[in-house]
Amino acid sequence: MCEEDGPKSTISFAMVIAGSLISIVSISNNVLLFISLIRNNRCFKCYFHFILALCFFDIIISVCYMPVILVDSLKDWTKWIELARAWWPFFVYGLAMTHVCMTTACYILIAVAYERYLITIRSYTLKQFQKRRSWWCFACLSIGILTKGGMLMELDVFPSPDITCKNTVMEYFVDVTEITKSVWYGTIYKFWFRNIATVFLPFFLLLLINLGIVLELRSQMQHAFGNRSRRRFSLRMQSRTNVRQATATMLFICVIYLISNVVNVFITAWEFIDIESLQTR
């Protein structure tokens, strides 16, 4: 007999609905911000360039969430076969697109943080970095495709071998393909390279960049207060206030990202250290 999943819990239903509502709010806010930025003639000549790219990829992530997660849950809850048949062809592509955009947005956030670090230390390489914002966005997208694009080959939709599942939501199921069982792909690329490039590297890069910004700001404040007697002290402090406020906003966003990814980093590190105990507990 075709065995279906057990009844869905109220908590899982509430989490999916909450995630969908957050996605709708995210789409609305990012679309408005994207339209406002794209109409600005200076958008591609200032730091708004990175913000515009972040909005674009955030919109894709939020749009893909609902068909990938919400529709998946709805087809299981309602047993609606037509919905399931519409979902199966989309799932792998939608999931891969979501993960590519998430990784791309993560590295764009690193680029934003690094630009703010260059501004903070008043680096002579700042102008060269700012002239290549488009190139950095393309590089971030390339990293996303390189690390997560392979999901298109890793997952596929297979027909259920149980004939009693015919014309039910269990008629097909999603599973990994044979390529994930190879050492070069499944172990070296998927486990080692992908986890390092998409979990550990972004986390610690943002951590180090933000730490450098905080230390530099503290040093500048101590130096400024040590030179109060100078006539231009108030003017210098006023001109730097806007920079510090923008930096504080960026730091807040980065800290939110770091906090939200602590669990992911911890679990991934556990996989590297002792994956067997993680699978048995």
For the stretch 113-159, pLDDT in tens is 899 889 888 888 988 998 899 999 999 999 999 999 999 998 888 88
Residue 25 has pLDDT above 80, yes or no: yes
Instruction: Note the helical H segments in the chain.
Output: 10-38, 48-65, 71-78, 81-121, 126-131, 133-148, 151-154, 194-195, 201-225, 233-260, 262-280
pLDDT, tens only, 35-47: 988 888 777 777 7
Residue 59 has pLDDT above 90, yes or no: yes
pLDDT, tens only, 196-232: 898 889 888 888 888 888 888 777 777 666 555 454 4
Residue ranges and CATH numbers for the domains of the chain are 10-271 (1.20.1070.10)
| CA-angle at 228, arms to 224 and 233, nearest 5° | 70
Cα–Cα distance between 14 and 74 in angstroms, integer? 12
Q: What is the mean pLDDT of residues 68-94?
A: 84
109 in Cβ contact with 198 (< 8 Å):
no
Q: What is the pTM of this model?
A: 0.83
pLDDT, tens only, 217-271: 777 777 666 555 454 444 454 445 555 666 666 666 777 776 766 666 666 665 5
Of 192 and 107, the structure prediction assigns the larger pLDDT to 107
pLDDT at residue 72 in the model? 81
Residue 64, strand partner residues: none
Average pLDDT, the chain: 80
Q: What is the mean pLDDT of residues 75-85?
A: 83
pLDDT at residue 157 in the model? 87
